[in-house]
Structure 1
Amino acid sequence: MLVKSVVLLLLLWRSEASQQDDIGFTYNGFRGVDMSLDGLAQVTNNGILMLVNTSMQQKGHAFHPHPLHFKNSSSGSVFSFSTTFVFSMFADVPVSDPGMAFIIAPSRDFSASWPSIYLGLFNHTIVGKSSNHLIAIELDCLQNLDFNDINSNHVGIDINDLKSVDSAPASYFSDKENRYVNLTLYSGHAMQLWVEYSGPQRQLNVTLAPFDVPKPSIPLLSFNIDLSPIVLDPMFVGFSSATAVAEAPHYVLGWSFKMNGQAKDLSLSQLPKLPRMGPKTEPEIFSIGFPVFGASLVLISIFIIQFIVRRIKKFAEVHEDWELEYGPQRFKYKDLYIATKGFNDEELLGSGGFGKVYKGILPTSKLEVAVKRVSHDSSQGVKEFIAEIVSIGKLQHRNIVTLLGYCRRKGELLLVYEFMPNGSLDKFLFHHKSTTTKPTLSWKQRFQIIKSVASGLLYLHEEWEQVVIHRDVKSSNVMLDRELNGRLGDFGLARLYDHGGDPNSTHVVGTFGYIAPELYRTGKAKPCVDVFAFGVFLLEVACGRRPIQFQGSEERLVLVEWVISSFNKGVILETVDPKLGMNYEVEEMELVLKLGLLCSHYIPTARPSMRQVVCYLEGEVPLPELPSLSDIDDGVSVLFPYLKSAVTSQSSFANSLLSGGR
């Protein structure tokens, strides 16, 4: 008898699960679809679900007509579910249009709800009460400080209240550009929204994208929540919308829902077309008289001539006879201009003291490149500089970004590099959640990047046909490829000399905080200069801090000094990047921190060579014990006697860099 009861319970459980698996629907347009509508909600002749029209202070609701069971009757947990819909909102006065929401509610009766800021969901007496048992994904175009809205163009998750438990500015993650791109909800353009809840993980994800963009890999909102206390059984699913001004229609073009599974993709080509938004403009060509038409022809002719002349000047380059020998390594300015869409700000990858870097696609080969625009003095030394650029272009190493060539115009030099899709390392180390979506690198990834950069520097110093001194080793010049492998880039400041030779003195160039102190005295760029910068770089990666942080008009924190102080106290691991937590190998971390101090030693001869550095990092030889540094009272004045004066007169230091040029 007991066995029969167990079997019966299993059969009932499988039957219930099967029924839940079958719950789902897909509407590619709403013509002929049975929907429960109230208020201003209606289905137009071409199959669009219009929630509100151009009336003021009104509301509308549209629900799937049948209630759905969201809970497992035996465990009381909420099933996983998924939905997606295409919508459009338009407003002549954007900041006065509240918006719309996808809702899960215990009832379809919202007769007591108010329009405008209450989105047709609540009124002032019931908003925020736990007895509402309502879940909403709001698409809000009005900032209401009473509800803690972040702006007038955001997506939020609402639980029984219009104070969102999580919200974000309307945007989507572009997998192609590897960044979030802003969207305007009230633009009148069609957009698609995905709402997905994982019952086992108790996680609610909301993803937004333009109409013609596939579902992004990273959601806009991801919120951990157990919906079982909020959800009653059964519940209704649908949409609510409210308007505060005229000319603010809200539309839903298609809708798909699935319980215990992934909602079917909407067939975007089958969705109804949106009606025309805004006033229709009539062509004025027929109202133009012949005299005006003749005058226009003359003006057009003058414009064409001026355009041709400007275009010739626009793409003019500086060519000298000695450059002919460099042949293929010189790019045409016109090709680089087209590749970067006219050096459009949308293609800007980054900028620094020596120029801006743009992403480009070469028009003929379709090769992705990074183009750096640099100002230069065209009087003396350009020939030698170009010769070094071309020589550096011959470098071939897996941990070095390839310099493909250059282009020269009057007063401007353009350097063309291999494109690195993940950008520079500093964006990962120092990112802020409010401005970027770069993930935190694990210690394993960081340690591999450190070893990659060390290998690249060893190649430059000892393994190529000449000695190459990079002179600008820092995290922003370490680029990451698709697999997050580190590659040293930006050789715009590099200098070369023969093995066994002695480098000539040059202007002091580099980046504030990475310049070896002896360079201010000698002006000679030797391998030990790169080793010093690499030591600062090691501490930068391990500690997640910049070399120098200015905390006020006078105060500054020098990274090396801080790590030395912690080393003296025997707590060097307290300097580890807090974002890593305890997720790192202690021996590797101690090695990197101590090696960073050794490489950034103020005495050049005390620093190891890059070959020794690679051996330490690979574990081929142990790192020697560091001497006690407890006698150092002022790390800045002792370790950085020349840097200290630069810190106190930063502007004059910056001017010396700029006047030094290339």
Structure 2
Amino acid sequence: QHNPLMSRMKLICFLLLGAVGLGALDLVASLVDDQFVYSGFAGAGLTLDGSATVTPSGLLELTNGSLQLKGHAFHPTPLRFRELPNGTVRSFAASFVFGILSAYPDMSAHGIVFVVAPTTDFSTALASQYLGLVNVQNNGHESNRIFAVELDTLQQDEFRDINDNHVGVDINGLVSLQSSNAGYYVGGDKERFENLTLISHEAMQVWIDYDAGTNRINVALAPLGVAKPARPLMSATYNLSSVITSTAYVGFSSATGSFDSRHYVLGCSFRMGSTTAPAMDIAKLPTLPREIPKVRSKVLQIVLPITSAAVVLALGTVVVLLLRRRRRYTELREDWEVEFGPHRFPFKDLHHATQGFNSKNLLGVGGFGRVYRGVLPDCNMEIAVKRVSHDSRQGVKEFIAEVVSLGRLQHCNLVRLLGYCRRKGELLLVYEHMPNGSLDKHLYGHQDDKPTLNWAQRFQIIKGIASGLLYLHEEWERVVVHRDIKASNVLLDDKMNGRLGDFGLARLYDHGTDPQSTHVVGTIGYIAPELGRTSKASPLTDVFAFGTFLLEVTCGRRPIFQDPRGNQVMLVDWVLEHWRRESLADAVDTKLRGDYNIDEACLVLQLGLSCSHPFVNARPNMRQVMQYLSNEVPLPQLMSTKMSFHTLAMMQNEGFDSYIQSSYSFSKMSENSHFDEGPLDLHPTA
């Protein structure tokens, strides 16, 4: 019999079960739609390490101004990037707001990286130019499984950076798949590109999206408060299914080098399965700290009678203008510098010579400063001014004495160090200007106005640098060890003669550190193996670097290069293998197209191997080198060995610190990488 009451109860139960079922489906959908939004990070529970911390205001502070540190911050739980274990990576989108503060207005120490990685453990990564993401051994290795977008504020030749203010898409390392100058496109009928400065102390927003259907990666950048540009800053095509693991962590990495810089993230959002990131509440974002508080005029805080206000304001304005003018050219002078007076340049003269250190006069940017071209107005002499950051007072007096002493060096194959100037936190070194720039730009550059050097020019440069080194080691009144011989430190004058520059700069590092500490100053690929044991530079460590320089100039290859199979090879071992096969001519730079003196080239290659020998006693001194180059004395035959020079170097250094040893692991290292534990390494790279 039909019971209306029972039927009604069944209908109600059915509706309740349906509602529960829909609620469960909503919960599953919420879990599948992996996303998060941080409008500030107070109470976020992020996974932090290194120098990273969350401030009371909710700022994510990745670095705090300390030197040579790294910091990481990750969303605490991994996200599912694939529907199935062997499926393709899903579309995703991210957005974040960042800010970079630097103690110097025109330079910074490295940047921030947005990263998707299979782990939050980056304990083996290095600071400085490696941004806390990779190290010299694993940079670019497929096993990293890292996708990243870098906001880089320092140009590094080893990573083929386009400039010191760029955004790059990185796969498994820091050599960008694609990069672009920082900026954004303004829409409309007449679309234009607006430049942005990453170290402007202003907050900016980044948008990153990946379309799984087209494998398209888009990156956009704009000032905070400006809507996402319709046209991305750059687009790249790459199948991230070959990179990102099934589950991975999303976060940030940053590092400092030798400058006081601070890296902040104000907020971020992420969504899986979409190319549009969730919106952050901009009004709730914390604000960037003011690194230097505004100066408040005490005069304006005094309430004066209306009749005298105009007079006081006028007087205050005049005083401020005079103080600004004086402060603009303020120098740092101490009593002990009186005796060095003739070698000291007034800052005002250098400021005028370089047109206020105008960017159009910028000759180059190195890891520790910038070099500007200038013309001294009184004598119309061209100069090059290197601005070096130096905050420590320790050892400055000894170094200035060194500068003045080296200023008396007189040799046609040395760049003359004319003098110096000191300001607070900064040292300016004044050199002769070399109009044809550094040798490495001619060896490796592809500019139309800098053609490949012919063999006669290369051989003349080699003999000139050898002559300059002989002068430093044996012919001057005392021994000067250069400590950083390489192609980028060889400059070319108006007649394409080679001149060795930046000699003695590493001495400032020595004067400013504990004499009992162990450190190695130089460039990987040129560093003699015994330095890992003694840390003491000598003329024969210069000879080792000169040997690498000989091979570099003759072969047209960097000390560590990549072979066609993608392996990193040490140049000295590559030439040694050609010597064993009696095919030395095949090692000569192919850009010469066979137009060279084969006897001279083979002599230089064999001499390079002798100078680069891992055992100190097997190397010639510079006087012998000059005799070999001029054919006054025949070059002794190399001893045949089945071992590579790399293996011999490791045998000689067996049992030493693993970090130093790893710098000779030629299969996994980058040629221009520097390693130095001290904060005052003034290694010249410009």
The TM-score, its normalising length taken from structure 2, stands at 0.49
Deviation per CA, 1:228-277: give whole Å up to 9, x if none. xxxxxxxxxxxxxxxxxxxxxxxxxxxxxxxxxxxxxxxxxxxxxxxxxx
Q: Is the 8 A contact 1:423 1:479 kept in 2?
A: yes
Q: 1:325 aligns with which of 330, 336, 339?
A: 339
Q: Is the 8 A contact 1:495 1:525 kept in 2?
A: no
Residue of structure 2 equivalent to 1:487? 499
Q: 1:379 aligns with which of 390, 393, 396?
A: 393
CA distance in 1, matches of 2:376, 2:407: 18
CA distance in 2, matches of 1:305, 1:552: 66
Match of 2:523, SS state, is coil
Q: Is the 8 A contact 1:505 1:523 kept in 2?
A: no
Q: Is the 8 A contact 1:372 1:414 kept in 2?
A: yes
Q: Is the 8 A contact 2:519 2:678 kept in 1?
A: no
Residue of structure 2 equivalent to 1:645? 662
Deviation per CA, 1:575-603: give whole Å up to 9, x if none. 11111111111110001001101101111
Are residues 651 and 543 of structure 1, via their aligned partners in 2, closer, same or farther at CA, if it must alter by over 3 Å? closer
Deviation at 1:451, TM superposition (A): 0.2
Residue of structure 2 equivalent to 1:656? 676
Deviation per CA, 1:591-629: give whole Å up to 9, x if none. 100110110111111110000000000010010011113
Q: 1:341 aligns with which of 345, 355, 364?
A: 355
CA distance in 2, matches of 1:427, 1:391: 30
Structure with max Cα Rg: 1
Q: Is the 8 A contact 1:440 1:579 kept in 2?
A: yes
Match of 1:416, SS state, is strand
Deviation at 1:375, TM superposition (A): 1.5
Deviation at 1:322, TM superposition (A): 0.8
Q: Is the 8 A contact 1:468 1:495 kept in 2?
A: no
Residue of structure 1 equivalent to 2:548? 536
> Are 1:313 and 2:330 matched, yes or no?
no
Q: How does 1:215-226 map to 2 (within 5 A)?
A: none
The letter of the residue matching 1:312 is: R
CA distance in 1, matches of 2:645, 2:333: 56
CA distance in 1, matches of 2:479, 2:396: 20
Deviation at 1:360, TM superposition (A): 0.4
Deviation per CA, 1:327-373: give whole Å up to 9, x if none. 11000111111111111111111122232111001122221001111
Q: 1:562 aligns with which of 574, 579, 584?
A: 574
CA distance in 1, matches of 2:639, 2:488: 31
Deviation at 1:308, TM superposition (A): 2.9
The letter of the residue matching 2:412 is: R
Are residues 645 and 506 of structure 1, via their aligned partners in 2, closer, same or farther at CA, if it must alter by over 3 Å? closer
Are residues 383 and 578 of structure 1, via their aligned partners in 2, closer, same or farther at CA, if it must alter by over 3 Å? same
Deviation at 1:552, TM superposition (A): 12
Are residues 304 and 487 of structure 1, via their aligned partners in 2, closer, same or farther at CA, if it must alter by over 3 Å? same
CA distance in 2, matches of 1:576, 1:343: 41
Residue of structure 1 equivalent to 2:644? 632
> Are 1:367 and 2:378 matched, yes or no?
no
Match of 1:358, SS state, is strand
Q: Is the 8 A contact 2:614 2:648 kept in 1?
A: no
CA distance in 2, matches of 1:366, 1:624: 49
Q: Is the 8 A contact 2:558 2:671 kept in 1?
A: no
CA distance in 2, matches of 1:657, 1:603: 25
Q: 2:461 aligns with which of 449, 455, 469?
A: 449
Are residues 309 and 519 of structure 1, via their aligned partners in 2, closer, same or farther at CA, if it must alter by over 3 Å? same
The letter of the residue matching 1:350 is: G
Further displaced range: 485-494 or 579-588? 485-494
CA distance in 2, matches of 1:562, 1:640: 20
CA distance in 1, matches of 2:410, 2:374: 22
Deviation at 1:461, TM superposition (A): 0.3
The letter of the residue matching 2:588 is: V
Q: Is the 8 A contact 2:438 2:491 kept in 1?
A: yes
Match of 1:398, SS state, is coil
Are residues 506 and 334 of structure 1, via their aligned partners in 2, closer, same or farther at CA, if it must alter by over 3 Å? farther
The letter of the residue matching 1:535 is: G
Residue of structure 2 equivalent to 1:146? none
CA distance in 2, matches of 1:656, 1:461: 25
Q: Is the 8 A contact 1:506 1:524 kept in 2?
A: no
The letter of the residue matching 1:544 is: G
The letter of the residue matching 1:466 is: R
> Are 1:520 and 2:532 matched, yes or no?
yes
Q: Is the 8 A contact 1:469 1:494 kept in 2?
A: no
Deviation at 1:441, TM superposition (A): 0.9
Percent identical pairs in the alignment equals 58
Deviation at 1:650, TM superposition (A): 7.5
Deviation at 1:493, TM superposition (A): 2.4
Deviation per CA, 1:548-567: give whole Å up to 9, x if none. 23689995222112111222
Are residues 656 and 331 of structure 1, via their aligned partners in 2, closer, same or farther at CA, if it must alter by over 3 Å? same
Residue of structure 2 equivalent to 1:401? 415
Match of 1:469, SS state, is coil
Mark the runs of 5 or more structure 1 residues left unpaired by the alignment.
1-185, 187-294, 497-502
Residue of structure 1 equivalent to 2:146? none
Residue of structure 1 equivalent to 2:240? none
Mark the runs of 5 or more structure 2 residues left unpaired by the alignment.
1-191, 193-308, 509-514, 654-658
CA distance in 1, matches of 2:503, 2:643: 38
CA distance in 1, matches of 2:530, 2:566: 24
CA distance in 2, matches of 1:477, 1:581: 26
CA distance in 2, matches of 1:407, 1:309: 21
CA distance in 2, matches of 1:645, 1:306: 55
Deviation at 1:402, TM superposition (A): 0.9
Q: 2:600 aligns with which of 588, 597, 609?
A: 588
Q: Is the 8 A contact 1:558 1:636 kept in 2?
A: no
The TM-score, its normalising length taken from structure 1, stands at 0.51
Deviation at 1:659, TM superposition (A): 2.2
CA distance in 1, matches of 2:322, 2:550: 53
Q: 2:475 aligns with which of 463, 473, 479?
A: 463
Q: How does 1:26-425 map to 2 (within 5 A)?
A: 305-425=319-439
Further displaced range: 387-396 or 550-559? 550-559
Are residues 374 and 657 of structure 1, via their aligned partners in 2, closer, same or farther at CA, if it must alter by over 3 Å? farther
The letter of the residue matching 1:524 is: K
The letter of the residue matching 2:498 is: G
Are residues 413 and 330 of structure 1, via their aligned partners in 2, closer, same or farther at CA, if it must alter by over 3 Å? same
Deviation at 1:309, TM superposition (A): 2.1
Match of 1:517, SS state, is coil
Deviation at 1:636, TM superposition (A): 8.2
CA distance in 2, matches of 1:425, 1:657: 28
CA distance in 2, matches of 1:651, 1:449: 22
Residue of structure 1 equivalent to 2:259? none
